[in-house]
Amino acid sequence: MQAIIMAAGKGSRLGSLTENIPKSFLEIKGIKMIEYNISMLHAFGIKDIIIVTGYQSERFEELTKKIDGVQCVFNPFYEQVNVLGSFYMAKDFLYDDFVYLHADTLCAPEIFESMLHEEGDMILPVEYGLCDEEAMKVKISNGKVIEINKTMPCDSSEGEFIGIAKISKGVIEDLRKATTQIMKEKEFSSYFEGAIQRIIDMNSFYIKAISTQDYFWSEVDFIEDYQRASAGIPDSLIKIVKEES
């Protein structure tokens, strides 16, 4: 199994916290967010890791140069495109089942393990319940994700996709095509979920939602997110990093 970590962004919404560092180099309990995610992948036997970099890419190259199996793919257009543009840069490095995740998103090992053990062409962990306007909202029918975007009304969604997914190798070719088509349409502001929606619309794959079951997860976009993550991060996640170091 492979993994692809999206880590190109600057994190300007975090203000002075990320003034001189990439967003995922922000530390929680003394550990960089990117280190949490690499350690989590390693803990579950995933060593073939692609990190898509942009802002201060050299820091990622320095951090990972002694970690076997990790390769950094630089997105020179990180300031002009959204996440799907970064995925586009690395899509041809994927050849096996893979985990997709954002470098600034953390989750409890229980969510990660549940996702890996679930069967389906795509497995999307979802926090069920009312979510805010900024959330990546999902509509679900009989356990299948039928719509995913930020624009649907909050009261029409079942919950929020947390930005971490398991995707089978059987989907890769169509995912590449969908990503390429969106880029050809110059939808440079598109999120990765724009490509997921096109896969959903094909109606050829089983896109399954699983519940986070109230386990910890956090996407760190704002100072309030950072504070919440710092207060709520479980000892089990910290332990994973310390056992590897």
Domain map of the chain by residue range?
A: 2-244
Contact 26, 17 (CB under 8 A): yes
Contact 40, 109 (CB under 8 A): yes
Cα separation of 182 and 198, whole Å?
Answer: 9
pTM for the model stands at 0.96
Alpha-carbon separation of residue 123 from 51, 120, 164, 189, 212 (angstroms): 21, 6, 9, 24, 12
Cα separation of 38 and 5, whole Å?
Answer: 9
In tens digits, what is the pLDDT along the chain, a chain of 245 residues?
A: 999 999 998 878 888 778 889 999 999 999 999 999 999 999 999 999 999 999 999 999 999 999 999 999 999 999 999 999 999 999 999 999 999 999 999 999 999 999 999 999 999 999 999 998 889 999 999 999 999 999 999 999 999 999 999 999 999 999 999 999 999 999 999 999 999 999 999 999 999 999 999 999 999 989 999 999 999 999 999 999 989 87
Cα separation of 111 and 164, whole Å?
Answer: 10
Which pLDDT value is given to residue 30? Answer: 94
Contact 37, 106 (CB under 8 A): yes
- Give me the architecture of the 2-244 domain, per CATH: Alpha-Beta Complex (3.90)
Where are any strands of DSSP class E within the chain? 2-7, 27-28, 31-32, 48-53, 70-74, 98-102, 105-107, 122-128, 137-141, 144-149, 159-161, 165-167, 207-211, 217-219
